[in-house]
Amino acid sequence: MPHKKIAMEHDKNIALVAHDNKKGDLVEWAKYNRVLLAHHRLYATGTTGEILERELDLSINKLQSGPLGGDQQIGAKIAENGIDFLIFFWDPLEPQPHDPDVKALLRLAVVWNIPIACNRASADFMISSPLMDGEYDRLVPDYNLYRTRKIAEGDSGGQGTPEDSLKS
């Protein structure tokens, strides 16, 4: 599949997300990196956004809480090229009622080739990268071929039907 370039500006759109047991880690990390974060546009889900805004004294674009649709809001922004970088401190040891939303968010970040930091070490490496403070062309598969493909009548897009799987 051919690729296209999507330009990231000098000031990035950064989404900050954390599960309840990881909010303290994200806030501590963000306070340590406040100077680096200050010139970027910051987005966060629910309570995380409230805490970050108070602790950092920076403007945060606050979305819904994750379980109330915030993860999906960030995913939609990724698909619309409104988020350049996702910092998501998720809790691998605690099941979440909105696990499908979490998986969908991570999937969209991969589909649209968005850098993802899921823990402090990866966030440290990414935020301190020289690429964070400059323009960058992100390569993304050109999905226009997928969007404009011809689908024959009765074709389910290659997925088949449950009945088809019984025929093999």
- Annotated catalytic residues are 71
Pairwise CA distance, residues 54 & 8, whole Å: 28
> 16 — phi, psi (to 5°)?
-115, 120
Give the burial class of 58: count Cβ atoms within 10 A of its Cβ; 0-12 exposed, 13-18 middle, 19 or more buried.
middle
Distances (CA, A) of 81 to 3, 6, 10, 53, 104: 15, 8, 15, 23, 16
The pair phi, psi for residue 79, each rounded to 5°, is -65, -25
Are 51 and 62 contacting, i.e. CB atoms less than 8 angstroms apart? no
